[in-house]
């Protein structure tokens, strides 16, 4: 997963990193899709009502992120076609 670097150096950690939540935005032509996934161990530990709540929240997150990605992509395409 990509991490942003705000100009500060990151100190290496001796603790292994575990990705527990993953969001992917994909583009196929003008079609944009957003998907998310949760680490299987964490998913197993969630109660059914917690899983339902997380699913609803992440559905909203992927819609927001996907829409924003689509807007930025559309703007980039307009800017590129507007130059001579």
Exposed / middle / buried, residue 34 (Cβ in 10 Å: 0-12, 13-18, 19+)? buried
For 53-77, how does the pLDDT look when each residue is reduced to its tens digit (9 = 90+)?
A: 999 999 998 888 888 888 888 888 8
Yes or no: say if 73 and 32 are a contact pair by the CB < 8 Å rule: yes
Instruction: Report pTM.
Output: 0.61
Yes or no: say if 34 and 65 are a contact pair by the CB < 8 Å rule: yes
Query: What is the DSSP annotation of 25-71?
Result: EEEETTEEEEEEEE-HHHHHHS-HHHHHHHHHHHHHHHHHHHHHHHH
The residue among 47, 2, 8 whose CA lies nearest residue 23 is: 2
Summarize the confidence of residues 14-28 as an average pLDDT: 84
- Most confident option among 3-7, 24-28, 29-33, 78-82: 24-28
Per-residue confidence (pLDDT) for residue 47, from 0 to 100: 95
């Amino acid at each position: 997963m990509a991490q942003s670097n705000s100009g500060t150096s990151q100190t290496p950690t001796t603790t292994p990193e575990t990705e527990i939540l993953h969001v992917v935005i994909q583009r196929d032509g003008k079609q944009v899709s957003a998907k998310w996934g949760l680490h299987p161990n964490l998913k197993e530990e969630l109660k059914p009502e917690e899983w339902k709540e997380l699913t609803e929240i992440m559905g909203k997150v992927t819609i927001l992120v996907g829409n924003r990605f689509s807007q930025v992509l559309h703007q980039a395409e307009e800017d590129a076609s507007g130059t001579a």
